[in-house]
Amino acid sequence: MYHHDLIQKKLIERHKDSRPIRVAVLGAGWFSSGLIEEMFRWPGMTPKIIFSRDPNKAVNILRSLGVNPGDIALISSSEDLRNTSLANRFWVSSRFELLDELKSVDVVFDGTGDLLTGARAAIASINNGIHFVTISSELDSTVGCVLSQMAREKGVVYSNCDGDQPGVLARMIREVRAYGFEILVAGNCKGFMDVHKTPEDIKPWVGPGQNPRMITAFTDGSKQSMELAVTANAFGLLPDKRGMHGPRTTKGTLVEDFQKILSGLGAVDFTLGIDGVNQGGGVFVVGRRQGSRVQEDMKYLKKGKGPDYLFFRDQHLCYFEAPRSIAEAAILNTATIAPAGHFADVLACAKKDLQAGEKLDSLGGFTVYGLIEKASVVRSEKLLPLGLSEFAVMRKPIERDQPIAYSMVDFPEDNLVLKLRRQMEENFTKDVVYVS
């Protein structure tokens, strides 16, 4: 049975048996609110608990979907958690720390994009024997290796999410490999990139309900670097050079353009579109397969002369596709995409001249941008991962576009993300696959 059909069959069975997958959703922003609505459309799963810093926002999402106000319980304490029945109510809470005591759900979904919140939620979920799914490439690229290992040891799933580029690329890579192709390159498509853009610069392009910092992270390439680091770590791929090549190309010339610039098989990279080609949110895999019969028949099938062939998907559908990752975790005990090793990392570079004593910000901000690099290089040069920049203060000045090293910053306060990163750097010191 086709994988998606199997999941749908199991979900329908759970719906008929009144035992839906119970999901705790973290966040009530654009992605999380869309996911919540989709879960009302998918059979066999329900967003039973929503954690949001603004509980009224979560309540309004549920009411807009037809939930009776009397069926929404506000949870503000451990006592509320113990005394409120989950069977016939939706819960809403602003107390993220209650995740430590939560045991009545099957999957925790992190839609916050906040590193500390995501890390705390992941640890709480794993310790409670609950599957954890995240949309946060920031979390995954920074400490995903150690979180995934913890989850395996507890017998639960840690997974990045379908609908965003890593999850969509994961499905494509598995399919292309199953057909006997080696991966030349896998990546995504951008129309524009400027590493120096700030939230102030991109204001005219921020739509209603969108986060300016997230739009900036798309524009300056930092988000893309983190997404492709997630992809690389799941499949043993590598950036061919720091920051990748990013050729201007079209679908018609993409294969040839990468053949000219890549040094070998197994890369992650991206394209910039030209000539009015709308690559939108496209993702691609270039697979290589030798053999005269293969080349003859692939040419007949309009896939080119080979031995390298383009497999292209012109969209990723965000929260519309995300419920499938939740179902895979709960039903199949399988991750859509999770680290298989530490192959790629994202280093922080100065977005402007920085001064001693200056507090750095995070992804999509004013002070830093990220470039993907081989994890072995980041380790050997002791470079600051972009995911840790928001906790750092400059120890000495640095010029714009220079990589930031650990020796150049101080961390005024310790926190869970820093501890997890230290643990990851101690445990995963080589580019090796530690799970099949």
Model confidence pLDDT, tens digit, residues 261-301: 999 999 999 999 754 345 457 899 999 999 999 999 999 99
Query: CA of 329: how far to CAs of 21, 170, 333, in Å?
Result: 10, 15, 5
Determine which helix (DSSP H) or strand (DSSP E) holds 174, and give its type and residue range.
helix 165-178
434, pLDDT greater than 50? no
Give the range among 56-60, 199-203, 284-288, 295-299 with minimum mean pLDDT. 199-203
Query: Residue 414 has what pLDDT?
Result: 96
Q: Which of 346, 6, 326 is nearest to 160 (CA)?
A: 326
Query: Residue 276 has what pLDDT?
Result: 39
Tell the burial category of 410 from Cβ atoms under 10 Å away from its Cβ (0-12, 13-18, 19+).
Answer: exposed
* H-state helical runs in 212-341: 212-219, 222-235, 254-261, 292-300, 323-332
147, pLDDT greater than 70? yes
Instruction: Read off the pLDDT of each residue in 398-417 and give the average, rounded to a whole number.
Output: 98
Instruction: Read off the pLDDT of each residue in 305-328 and give the average, rounded to a whole number.
Output: 94
* Contact call for residues 97 and 123 (beta carbons, < 8 A): no
Say what the pTM is: 0.94
Query: Residue 88 has what pLDDT?
Result: 65
Tell the burial category of 426 from Cβ atoms under 10 Å away from its Cβ (0-12, 13-18, 19+).
Answer: exposed
Tell me the per-residue pLDDT of 18-38, one tens digit each, with 9 for 90 and over.
999 999 999 999 999 999 999
Q: How far apart are CA 74 and CA 57, in angstroms?
A: 12
Instruction: Read off the pLDDT of each residue in 337-344 and give the average, rounded to a whole number.
Output: 97
80: confidence class by pLDDT, cuts 50, 70, 90: confident
Query: Residue 430 has what pLDDT?
Result: 52
DSSP string, 59-106: HHHHHHTT--GGGEEE--SHHHHHHS-STT-EEEES-GGGGGG--S-S
* H-state helical runs in 262-415: 292-300, 323-332, 375-380
Which two structure tokens, joined as six digits, stand for 263? Answer: 């040094």
Query: Residue 345 has what pLDDT?
Result: 98
Domains contained in the chain, CATH given: 3-129 (3.40.50.720), 163-318+341-436 (no CATH)
DSSP string, 361-384: --TTSSSEEEEEEEHHHHHHTTBP
Mean pLDDT over the full length of the chain: 93
Contacts of 397 (CB under 8 A, 6+ apart): 353, 354, 355, 356
β-strands 344-350, 368-374: how paired? antiparallel
Q: How many CA atoms within 13 Å lie on the side-chain side of 63?
A: 11
SS3 assignment, position 429: coil
403, pLDDT greater than 60? yes
435, pLDDT greater than 50? no
Determine which helix (DSSP H) or strand (DSSP E) holds 124, and give its type and residue range.
helix 115-127
| Amino acid identity at 408 | M
Which residue would you say has higher pLDDT here, 206 or 178? Answer: 178
431, pLDDT greater than 90? no
Give the range among 33-42, 92-101, 212-221, 257-266 with minimum mean pLDDT. 212-221
Q: How far apart are CA 23 and CA 90, in angstroms?
A: 11
Instruction: Note the Cα 37 to chain centre separation in Å.
Output: 20
